[in-house]
Chain A
């Protein structure tokens, strides 16, 4: 007889093993999927690997794809530590991209000040966008999952409206693009590749947030709110303030990711500027268990999926959607894995 029993204690190794097991099992399932469309999964994985790590171009692409996911991962991870689900990193990213583009195209500043101003404007716009669900959650207990998710559509369509309308460039014919940014509004690039300064800034932000979370009294308070909001209130921690602050941090970081994309990659505001980086931030933060340093690692995995996914598309003409299937599977298996931290399955004879 198979019996499901509640665990009294969760073995520590299991907590850390679950992300890896989830990845492994997802690889297996995606392998089956590849097999079903007639591709040898081992070959496919080899291709993904060699195209990401095998060349200077591949490697820098890997970093360029990882950087925005590090930021959106952080944008989900910080509120997650306080027990909040920020599903809105995608929208916050778009709003940040909008604000940065606005500065780049319409505000005349001394050239050395343009990039810092774009970064600040983007972070502030993202923060503003996240403040709505944060304040609604704190004041009226409005479910932040729904409000952040819905605001994504508003932000994405707002940017669409702009690039089809008022911000459409003069030299882009009928494409939904703005004009290209002036040179001083573009992030410096290295080695003749797309590797831009934003990659390093993303890693510095992750390290800074790690220090804030682990070393400051704010970080301690966030941890308590996430672990037991009632105990936090009883201990005199202002739960509502913590809710709002973590959302603001998340929004600011995602907003900056938007600036990085328009200024470092596209060099203009355009429709569909993010291939779902904001949503990728969710499994990234989950895999990292909300730890900002671990977010760098799990973002790297997702960056690899994006780069490897395009490799699959060009080599085997498998749709790049396989990447999203992979992402979704990892989330499912992580959530499923949580079950085993609370329960154990026992097989008994007779």
Chain B
């Protein structure tokens, strides 16, 4: 196999406010290979590829493509150089047909007219060559997700790309479609095309790639030949073993059962079953960690346990009382608090003041006759700002002006100050700096000590291991084994998270 270097990314750094998404990442891709880019969510895979595709500009580092130093200011530049990308969320015009979508923005020989015959011929040729069949006259709105993806791929191939980036292409596919996709990818590399395949699924990475680069927290862990590795090694690389901080939840006596979830079935927004018969319980003072790669039902679990989403089947029992069908307000009144995964989009109203955001849930307790006691609310907010050391110039600035860590402190302050019976904490330290992470984790431990039952949903295994008394792994909407912390093994959990079968 020829080892001609097609692409080299050197020392790529990309910072977002409060986060370093890529921290000196290197990537070398040979011509004609399928290169896997593996890592947990938030590891920086998509950011790196968006830089390559010209969607982001890197803060530092350089990109060398076909031996030339390049700088892509927009995807147009990248496409011109021969790089195509298929995003996780497809970018097709639903009301146009397949042919129109593929040719959109492309100049056919008869420009400014569109030479449909020529286009059709070329698409058919490509379809045959790679085994990617589509009906060019079909409306995109009528296509299945798998077919839409094929259109996206054809769109890139149509532009004669040399390098095709696929971002989590299998997330939306059926197993049969995955098989077809993989054979198409192999056909492409045989013709000299190069593919970068972003994934967090170990099995897929192993079955289709030639080499794999693993990212963790925005940094390279290493690049490895697929033939010379296995699932366990990859899981270890992906998850990491070294513990950044020395936090550990001390053992305490658990009290009575606070939450019991029985055979819970929940649909996602698309009407597909996202939770399939989930059963578990949490006691007073216990932290139950739900480990899993995101998109396996965590969001629905968070929403169903806060009353935002109603289950199709099953019961939620809090302190012996069936709360399944209560409103969100009913859940709140019963003592359920939540640190949502989507802090800015769900956890607060960014345009409102810090004080308003601190009072988002509890303002009802400050009724005085028909009005609200704003003075008391403000005093309460001021106290919370002090108690949780929220760094803000004043109570009245919009919450959006605060840093990510301080935004999370607002949510922590609001939710923990209610002394909840049950706290759902979803990805509570994602994207925070070390000090912020430590603060959040310590607060959660203290809350458990004070008698809250905590459900910790996290992709960060280190966090799960530091905080949890009991660990459950969620995969495709099912709980794959509930393990006491003492018996938990990081590699075993990583293996289960990636869809491995329980030993």
Contact = CB atoms under 8 A, between A and B. Distances in A.
Interface stretch (B44-52, B135-143, B339-347, B446-454): B339-347
Given A220-B363, A227-B351, A233 B308 contact: yes
B180 interface: no
A330 to B, nearest CB: 23
Contact of B328 (A211, A221, A233): A233
Contacts of B374: 215
A201 to B, nearest CB: 21
A231 B347 contact: yes
Interface stretch (B72-80, B270-278, B364-372): B364-372
B303 to A, nearest CB: 9
A228 B349 contact: yes
The interface residues of chain A, by DSSP majority, are classed as helix
Nearest to A215: B371
Interface centre among A221, A228, A236, A238 (most CB of B within 10 A): A236
Contacts of B333: 236
Contact of A231 (B306, B307, B346): B346
A231 B308 contact: no
A230 interface: yes
Given A217-B364, A230-B345, A236 B332 contact: yes
B342 to A, nearest CB: 8
Given A234-B338, A236-B327, A236-B328, A224 B308 contact: no
B425 to A, nearest CB: 14
A235 B372 CA distance: 17
A234 B306 contact: yes
A214 B13 CA distance: 46
Interface in A235-284: 235-238
Contacts of A43: none
B394 to A, nearest CB: 12
A81 interface: no
Contact of A217 (B327, B345, B347, B372): B372
A88 B327 CA distance: 32
Contacts of A211: 371
Contacts of B371: 211, 215-216
A231 B349 contact: yes
A217 B351 CA distance: 18
A9 interface: yes
B53 interface: no
A168 interface: no
B352 to A, nearest CB: 5
Nearest to B370: A216
A217 B352 contact: no
A317 B89 CA distance: 59
B146 to A, nearest CB: 28
A223 interface: yes
B54 interface: no
A227 B308 CA distance: 18
B347 A215 contact: no
B133 interface: no
Given A236-B329, A236-B332, A231 B364 contact: no
Interface in B338-394: 338, 340, 342, 345-352, 356, 359-361, 363-364, 366-367, 370-372, 374
20 contacts: A211-B371, A216-B371, A217-B367, A223-B352, A224-B349, A224-B352, A224-B356, A227-B350, A227-B351, A230-B342, A231-B346, A231-B347, A232-B349, A233-B308, A234-B306, A234-B328, A236-B307, A236-B328, A236-B331, A238-B327
Interface of B: 17, 306-308, 327-329, 331-333, 338, 340, 342, 345-352, 356, 359-361, 363-364, 366-367, 370-372, 374, 401
* In the complex, the 6 A-B pairs of residues with the closest C-beta atoms, listed nearest first: A227-B349, A236-B329, A228-B349, A236-B328, A215-B371, A236-B332
